[in-house]
Structure 1
Amino acid sequence: MLPNDPARLKAAFQQGLAAQKAGQFDAALAQFRQVLAVRPDLAEAQFQIGRIHAAQGDMAKAETALRKALKLRPKEPAIWAALAGILTGGKLKKLHAEAARAGVPLSGEPDISALIARIARGPTQAAGAEADALDLVRRYPDAAHPALALGAARAAQKKWSFALPALEKATERDPTSPMAHVLLGEVLLKLGQLSRSEAALEKARGLGADVSVPWAHLMHETCRDAEAEEVLARAVKAAPRDPRLAGEHAQALVALRRPQDALKVARKAIASGATRTNLLQLANAMLNEGDTGPALKITGEVLEKSPDSVPALTLRGQLLQTTGELEEGQAMLLRAAEISPDGAEAIRSYVGGAKLAEGDPILPILEARMGDAALPIASRRTLAFAMAKAQEDLGHYSDVFPHLHRANRLMKQEFPYRFENERTHVQAILAAYRALKNRTPATDAPQDAPIFVTGMARSGTTLVETILSAHDRVTAGGELPYLSRALAPFIEAANTAPDRLPDLMIPGAQRYLQAARRRVGTDGIFTDKAISTYARIGLIAQALPNARFLILKRDPRDVGLSIYRNMFPPGSHLYSTDLADIGRFIRQHDAFVEFWQAEMPDRVHVVDYEALTAEPEPHIRALVAAAGLDWQDACLAPQNARRDVATLSFSQVRQPIYRASVAAWKRYQEELAPLIDALEQPVTL
């Protein structure tokens, strides 16, 4: 017999649960009976014994155990629900009457329609609905509807990883629920599990659900935008007065670089009931796709009708910053900050657009908003990033890191990260590369020669791309979002279906090139400085045998500092919110660079940022040669290159090459100790 020791009893109970989960029912029963010999009043043990007998098909024993559990815990809904699941006929009818007298709701599937309606109202309502859904899950642990409500509430808040288990349980418990399969497909897509997403959406379609929108999203995320647009065009034709479908169709047209067609669709949507907010969403999509001209036109139209529209002022200010109209952009952003009770995004963009000095009109506004505890968390973290930048501009260096720590803590709270989770992705990439490295290059591989400029975020990639774009044969593409999307099915297959890799590689490369050329607007040489490229160099080299790779190397302490003090789009660069994680991520990046240099020394060229900025000409000549280009003197004056810049470096690249940010880490050496400690630990692939 077990001793009456709480710790030993808990351990024995957990062992029983583990055995039960593994299907080892006899071992589980033995553990639970040992526990009951010491604690006969433990309802949880009787409950699990009842569930085991039910799983074995012995309903009489299951009923006996569950009734013992119910006697110990007469108000526990889970026990009533379990009994209801094994009884039939008169016994079940009697149980319902007993439950009613006990004041316990007994229903296999509680009504969740009110919860779903609340979730549909937006993330704030969904947060409250999540708590109520959790309560339902506890009361009805084996039911499908509570799990569906919980998954829907979490998905509405973009808690993709937390939504997934609930939706998997919902579809397992009720395989006929179209809504559960649609939501599962959408969440799997967000998590990059494309094959499973497609299967879930196909199942939902078979159950009669309209999956036009999530299916189009799946097509978009794999660089099949023409197919996405066709799907949505058919959906709009079937439901011409649905403003949501029209809005999605307009977004698909923007992705195809058809802004005028997108605008026509959006205006039809407004005539059908959509608000003018949809126009600003469209303009923002155009900004992301590089269509700044049409986006500026839209924001101008909105401001003509609503001169004090904060979203329109903010977006127009950001557009003007992107196109180099910095002074006018700052004026727009200041106006937005002045008239909005929040204005966090306008303030952040203003502060990021110039070096502030004492007396700048944005400073009192920023100070006032920083003291407003009623602002949403997203606004407070945005303002904290802005305040850190402002304090550094003003030379108040001791005040910088308290704001940075607060900003990153709030970001990590919403977007958690574990470095260990990177390993699965890294292994998938390396598995795909090793499966193909000794393969004879495909004769049908595209002969295009894009130049990939990559490295850690904030390492100087924008400077190198701007140097190359000064060459008359090169068009700057910026951070193109297509490579990881086009290769996603390819990388996923490395672990799930390695025999499909050769068939997926060339179509992925072709989809990438089609999307990239559509975005950049050239049939000639273009650059792509997507940060994630560094991990996929081996795969890209196989798919695009003429591609060149330039990798930035910069003092990792400066890189780490720059990453920590910059606010990336929420949900991206998840490692950036913790100094130790940044250090580990940088070392993993370094391991990749060393690996690719050893594997492909003739195609990978490393650019030393400190050396480049100290003595530009020889290093610019070397990188131009490594890019396969003839020499042009214009490359020595990259600040004269005319181009839009949509990254955090939009103001710096309009200046001559400078060294102000070299060794900036020394000013914050003490605060950067976790980063520096992590950088001293090597990371292997």
Structure 2
Amino acid sequence: MHTQRLWLRAQQHIADGHLDAAASNLQALLQREPRNAQARMLLSSVALGRGQLRQGCAEAIAAAQALPDDAEMIATVAMCLFRVGETVATRQCMQHPEIARTRDAPALARLAHVWQMLGEHAAALALMDRARALGFDNPEFRYFRALQLQFNGRLHEAEREIEACLSQGPTHGRASLTLARLHRQTAERNHLDYIVRQLPRVEQGSEDHAAFEFARYKELEDIGRHDEAWEALQRGNAIMAVRNAHDGALEQRLFARLQQHCTAAFLAERASDTGVAPQPIFILGLPRSGTTLLERLLGKHAAIAVPGELPDFPRQLRWCADAHGASLLDERVLDRLDAIDYAQLGQRYLAQTQWHAGARPQYVDKLPSNYMLAGLIHKALPRAPILHLVRAPLDVCFSNYRALFGDAHNYSYRLDDMAVHYRRYRALMAHWHAAMPGVILDVEYVQLVGDTEGTMRRVLAHCGLPFDVACTESSGAGAPVSTLSSAQVREPIHRRGVDAWRRYATQLEPLRMALADLA
């Protein structure tokens, strides 16, 4: 009864916003019941609410070590562990024997999402198939199963699953957008009539509404109706700009502080080289700059594994700064850059990621936004090669504008914000080059698709690897791909993305003028 009172008091303190008091009650409870996983998870949440990332991680790990035979609880703990950067502990959760025997279909669907977050897309699809066999079915589940089929290269099955999702009744703009992106539409075969019928049914101004407009843009562009396509694209971006306002002033402060702090002298004091293998190869740059294509080409090399986009470096940076948060970088992390143990940062990063390599000596870490952290990456992991994708300003800006990133990359929904952000990105990359000469290899997208062999020879030399002719062809079998390019990069290498903005040269003239002085 005393334990129950402590539990209820803790919940009341949380509801009242008294996190210190809630933590005291939960700690007292755990002295009586140290293997109470539910209390551990609540204490972890309280610690994170107080900004104490390390304590939050420790309590979540303790919960994982006391898991009951409850698939739903296992999924909750595993998701928490992943989101705070405890990737290894997440994988250990996913080995719990209860997962193999459970018949809880909704829990299996949640556990599949954990495998998806870990980049284990075959395992994610297997759990989704188990849930489906147990009778689990709804439009959202169909949509996410379609994504897994797409990520695993089963594009025809993905298309049928999306169609099944859309046939179940409620509007689903994301599913329509995914369907539009699976292949090029034609005047004879497209989904434009369906999209037009759905638009009056959606909540106006919702992300669902925006997704239908992005889908309409894609299909109209495919069939050459460019004026109508541009109008749909503008409508979709306008909705998202209202929903996810870009904080340009905050971005300016963060970029300025980062450059002021990360001087050549600061970056010259690097962690010692431990020689521990396998080692990462970082690919970074603006989103939609060609990072997925380069990753796929590197993945054809016998020495390189390609696990996909890894959030581990920014999360381990936050752990070392003991600064909980969802963004890649914030003021609290910048405040603590001098206090971080960069050797520890490198060691923790490797400990959380090396499993991705399997038996290979190197593995790719492709998180485009890591361009903001390039200097800190080199400071913590001096052996790791860094590859920077460079794409023509208007091509990459337009490619961002026509993507739907949800609540990420909010600069992309307004062309003037896009232009300012691009300038800040270019200035930051120039800063890294000046402060760390020779560390980062710029890889020009136009050269990657135009002279693939010559470019890959330079890339592999920078990575300290011998040339492999297999690295000149992206199509065919390969690792799963979970980015917006997952269908496109399975095609033979092409140049369709070069100068794609010119179809809308008139509409993009203000953007061209804003970037006219940049090559």
| Residues 438 and 313 (structure 1), Cα distance of their counterparts in 2 relative to 1, 3 Å cut | closer
Pick aligned residue for 2:172 from 323, 328, 343: 343
CA-CA distance at 1:225 after TM superposition? 9.6
Aligned partners of 1:679, 1:633: CA distance in 2, in Å?
37
- 1:486 corresponds to which residue? 316
2:388 aligned partner: 551
Q: Pick closer, same or farther for the CA change 1:506–1:472 going to 2, 3 Å.
A: same
Aligned to 1:412: 241
Q: For the residues of structure 1 that align with 2:99 and 2:388, how far apart are their CA atoms? A: 42
2:297 is aligned with 1:467: yes
Partner of 2:6: none
Q: Which residue matches 2:415?
A: 579
* SS in structure 2 of the partner of residue 647 of structure 1: coil
- Higher Cα Rg, which structure: 1
* Unmatched 5+ stretches in structure 1: 1-175, 183-200, 271-275
Relative to structure 1, the CA distance from residue 475 to residue 233 in structure 2 (aligned partners, 3 Å threshold; closer, same or farther) is closer
Indicate if the aligned counterparts of 1:381 and 1:410 stay in contact, CA closer than 8 A: yes
Are residue 524 (structure 1) and residue 342 (structure 2) matched?
no
- In structure 2, the residue matched to 1:38 is none
Secondary structure (helix, strand or coil) at the match of 2:363 reads strand
Contact persistence 2:298–2:471 (CA under 8 A): yes
**How far 1:611 moved relative to its partner?**
2.3
Q: Does 1:365 align with 2:365?
A: no
Matched, 1:619 2:455: yes
Q: Decide whether the 8 Å contact of 2:217 with 2:232 is kept in 1.
A: yes
Structure 1 676/231 Cα, relative in aligned 2: closer, same or farther at 3 Å? farther
Q: Deviations over 1:629-678 (max 9, x none)?
A: 11111112232451100000111211221101110111111222342233
Q: Is the 8 A contact 1:323 1:644 kept in 2?
A: yes
Answering whether residue 95 of structure 2 is matched by residue 264 of structure 1, we say no
What is the SS of the residue equivalent to 1:261?
coil
Is 1:205 the counterpart of 2:14? The answer is no
Taking the aligned partners of 1:284 and 1:262, their CA distance within structure 2 comes to: 16
Counterpart residue number, 1:231: 62
Give, in whole Å, the separation in 1 of the partners of 2:254 and 2:353: 24
Distance of 2:332 and 2:264 partners within structure 1: 11
Structure 1 partner of 2:152: 323
Number of residues of Structure 1 aligned to a counterpart in Structure 2 = 478
Shift of residue 618 of structure 1?
A: 1.5
State whether structure 2 residue 335 is matched by structure 1 residue 496: yes
Hey, what's the Cα distance between the residues in 1 that align with 2:467 and 2:399? 32
* Aligned equivalent of 2:479: 643
Q: Which amino acid aligns with 2:161?
A: M
Give 1:549's aligned amino acid: I
Q: 1:263 to 1:656 in 2, by over 3 A?
A: farther
Residue 289 of structure 2 aligns to a residue whose secondary structure is coil
8 Å contact 1:280–1:311 — kept in the other structure?
Answer: no
Letter in 2 for 1:529: K
Q: How does 1:588-667 map to 2 (within 5 A)?
A: 588-640=424-476, 642-667=478-503
**Cα distance in structure 2, aligned partners of 1:225 and 1:445:** 29
User: Does structure 1 conserve the Cα–Cα contact (< 8 Å) formed by 2:22 and 2:46?
Assistant: no
What is the CA–CA distance in structure 2 between the aligned matches of 1:224 and 1:552, rounded to whole Å?
Answer: 37
Q: Does residue 284 of the first structure (1) align with residue 129 of the second (2)?
A: no
Match of 1:248 in 2: 76
Letter in 2 for 1:547: A
Corresponding residue number in structure 1 for 2:214: 385
Amino acid at match of 2:297: I
Ranked by relative contact order (alpha carbons within 8 Å, sequence separation 6 or more), the top structure is 2
State whether residues 411 and 417 of structure 2, in contact with CA within 8 Å, keep that contact through their aligned partners in structure 1: yes
What letter is aligned with 1:471? Answer: H
Shift of 1:263: 7.9
**Counterparts of residues 1-20 of structure 1 (less than 5 Å):** none
Whichever structure has more helix as a proportion of its residues is 1
In structure 2, the partner of 1:457 is 287
Cα distance in 1 for residues equivalent to 2:300 and 2:52: 32
Q: Given that residues 179 and 204 in structure 1 are in contact (C-alpha distance below 8 angstroms), is that contact kept between their aligned partners in structure 2?
A: no
SS of structure 1 residue aligned to 2:23: helix
Structure 2 CA distance for aligned equivalents of residues 178 and 451 of structure 1 = 43
1:179 corresponds, among 15, 21, 45, to 15
Give the unaligned 5+ runs of structure 2. 1-11, 28-38, 322-328
Which residue identity lines up with residue 442 of structure 1 in the other structure? Answer: A
**Cα separation, partners in 2 of 1:647 and 1:635, compared to 1, 3 Å:** same
Alpha carbons of structure 1 residues 657 and 267: separation in structure 2 relative to 1, 3 Å: same
Q: Please state how far the C-alpha of 1:604 moved relative to its aligned partner.
A: 1.1
- Asked if structure 2 preserves the Cα contact closer than 8 Å seen for 1:446 and 1:544, the reply is no
Are 1:354 and 2:193 an aligned pair? no
What is the CA-CA distance between 1:519 and the residue it aligns to? 4.3
TM-score (norm 2): 0.82
- Please state how far the C-alpha of 1:609 moved relative to its aligned partner: 1.1
Q: Once the two structures are aligned, what percentage of the paired residues are identical?
A: 27
CA distance in 2: counterparts of 1:571 and 1:387, whole angstroms: 20
| Cα separation, 2, equivalents of 1:554 and 1:391 | 25
Contact 2:456–2:471, Cα closer than 8 Å, also in 1: yes
Which whole-Å CA distance do the structure 1 matches of 2:296 and 2:435 have between them? 28
Provide the rounded CA distance (Å) in 1 between the counterparts of 2:46 and 2:111: 20
Partner Cα separation in structure 2 for residue 632 and residue 444 of structure 1: 27
C-alpha displacement of 1:377: 1.3
Deviations 1:17-48 (A, max 9, x none): xxxxxxxxxxxxxxxxxxxxxxxxxxxxxxxx
Q: d(CA) in 2 for partners of 1:177 and 1:225?
A: 18
Q: What's the CA shift for 1:433?
A: 2.4
The match for 2:306 is 476
What whole-Å deviation, never above 9, does each CA across 1:346-387 have from its counterpart, x for those lacking one? 222111211112343644322211232557712111111111
Cα distance in 2 between the residues matched to 1:361 and 1:493: 49
Deviation at 1:213, TM superposition (A): 4.6
Judged with a 3 Å threshold, the aligned counterparts in structure 2 of structure 1 residues 221 and 466 are, in CA distance, closer, same or farther, namely farther
| SS of equivalent residue, structure 1 residue 452 | strand
Asked if 2 retains the 8 angstrom alpha-carbon contact of 1:493 and 1:500, the reply is: no
Q: Would the aligned equivalents of 1:280 and 1:298 in 2 still touch at CA under 8 Å?
A: yes
- 2-side partners of 1:361 and 1:495: how far apart? 49
| Partner SS, residue 371 of structure 1 | helix
Relative to structure 1, the CA distance from residue 259 to residue 235 in structure 2 (aligned partners, 3 Å threshold; closer, same or farther) is: closer
Q: Cα–Cα, structure 1 residues 672 and 221, in superposed 2: closer, same or farther, change >3 Å?
A: farther
Secondary structure of 1:606's counterpart equals: strand
Structure 1 residues 453 and 244: alpha-carbon distance in aligned structure 2, compared to 1, 3 A threshold: same
Q: 1:594 to 1:339 in 2, by over 3 A?
A: same
TM superposition score normalised by structure 1: 0.64
Q: Could you tell me whether the CA contact under 8 Å between 1:221 and 1:485 is conserved in 2? A: no
User: Against the structure 1 CA distance between its residues 452 and 233, is the aligned structure 2 distance closer, same or farther, given a 3 Å change threshold?
Assistant: closer
Change (3 A) 1:473 1:360: same
Instruction: Judge conservation of contact 1:216–1:232 (CA < 8 Å) in 2.
Output: no
Residue in structure 2 matched with residue 9 of structure 1 by the alignment: none
Equivalent residues of 2:244, 2:410 under 8 A apart: yes
Q: Is the Cα contact below 8 Å between 1:247 and 1:278 reproduced in 2?
A: yes
